[in-house]
Amino acid sequence: MRAWEDDALALHALDALPADEAAALEADLAISSTLRARFAAVADSLVALGDDLPAVAPRPGARDALLAAATPAPERAGRFAEALGRLIDRGADAARALLASIHDADAWQGSPWPGVQLMHLAGGPATAGADVGFVRVPAGAHFPYHRHGDTERTLVLQGGKRLDDGRVLGPGEALEMGPDSAHGFTALEGPDLVFAVVLRGELAFPSPPD
pLDDT digits (tens, 9 = 90+) for 92-135: 999 999 998 998 889 999 999 999 999 999 999 999 999 999 99
* Listed range (3-7, 12-16, 104-108) with the worst mean pLDDT: 12-16
The mean predicted confidence, pLDDT, of the chain is: 85
Specify the long-range contacts of residues 113-122, CB closer than 8 Å, at least 24 apart. Answer: 113/143, 113/144, 114/141, 115/141, 116/141, 116/143, 121/88, 121/196, 122/90
Residue among 185, 187, 174, 179 nearest 203 (CA): 179
Give 48-89 pLDDT, tens digit per residue.
Answer: 665 555 655 655 555 554 544 444 444 455 689 999 999 999
Fold exhibited by the domain 76-204: Jelly Rolls (2.60.120)
The residue ranges of every structural domain in the chain are 6-71, 76-204
% of the chain beyond a pLDDT of 70:
84
Residue 191's Cβ-count burial label (10 Å; 0-12, 13-18, 19+) is: buried
* Listed range (34-38, 122-126, 172-176, 194-198) with the worst mean pLDDT: 34-38
Look up the pTM and report it: 0.65
26 pLDDT band (50/70/90 cuts)?
Answer: confident
The residue with greater pLDDT, 75 or 20, is 20
Q: What is the pLDDT of residue 46?
A: 74
